[in-house]
């Protein structure tokens, strides 16, 4: 997927989740300002937490944390195939090969998630002042 499409798609998904949570919390039918701010705080927090979690997972995966698991499964597969020991490579070589293939990380999900969490914090402050 092209980079120009990923950011608007992520923002759109966050807005959709936010609108669904706001509708479920009754933000559009609330009678008081405090109830609206409470519903909006929940509505912004949910996609913020989801997108930050996804962004953190991408951050960790781009650092090579999961390389040991893929190496282990690859070694296990080679163990049970004929002549697997001839093609076995050391972990350091495997990690270097994976690092060369790795693309530049894109943290758009983490950034969008942090924006939604900031909006949730603003709504929380407005909720506290309204009460």
Name which of 39, 41, 48, 40 is nearest 14 in CA terms.
48
Query: What tens digit of pLDDT does each residue of 20-49 get?
Result: 999 999 888 878 889 999 999 999 999 999
Q: Say if residue 58 is in the same domain as residue 70.
A: no
pLDDT at position 12 over 90: yes
For the chain, percent of residues with pLDDT exceeding 70: 93
88 — alpha (psi -120 to 50), left (phi > 0) or beta?
beta
Between 67-79 and 91-101, two packed helices, what is the crossing angle to 10 degrees?
120
Dist CA 7 CA 13 (whole Å) = 10
Q: Residue 13: what pLDDT?
A: 94
Q: Tally the domains of the chain.
A: 2
Same domain, 55 and 84: no
Average pLDDT over every residue of 46-53: 96
Residue 87 and residue 57 share a domain: no
DSSP state of 31: S
Mean pLDDT of 68-90: 76
What does the pLDDT read at residue 83?
66
Q: Is 80 exceeded by the pLDDT of residue 87?
A: no
Same domain for 90 and 110, yes or no, is no
Domain that holds residue 50: 1-62+105-131
Query: Quick check: 119 and 52 in contact, CB under 8 A?
Result: no
Evaluated on CA atoms 115, 121, 124, 125, the torsion sign reads: negative
In the chain, DSSP finds a helix count (H) and a strand count (E) of: 5, 0
Same domain? For 12 and 42 the reply is: yes
């Amino acid at each position: 997927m092209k980079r120009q499409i990923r950011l608007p798609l992520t923002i759109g998904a966050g807005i959709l989740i936010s609108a669904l949570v706001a509708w479920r919390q009754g933000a559009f039918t609330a009678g008081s300002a405090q109830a609206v701010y409470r519903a909006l705080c929940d509505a912004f927090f949910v996609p913020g937490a989801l997108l930050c979690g996804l962004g953190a997972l991408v951050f960790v995966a781009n650092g090579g944390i999961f390389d040991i698991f893929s190496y282990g499964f690859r070694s296990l597969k080679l163990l049970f195939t004929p002549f697997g020991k001839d093609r076995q490579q050391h972990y350091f070589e495997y990690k270097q090969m994976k690092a060369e293939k790795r693309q530049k990380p894109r943290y758009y999900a983490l950034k969008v998630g942090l924006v939604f969490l900031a909006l949730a914090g603003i709504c929380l402050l407005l909720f506290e002042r309204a009460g």
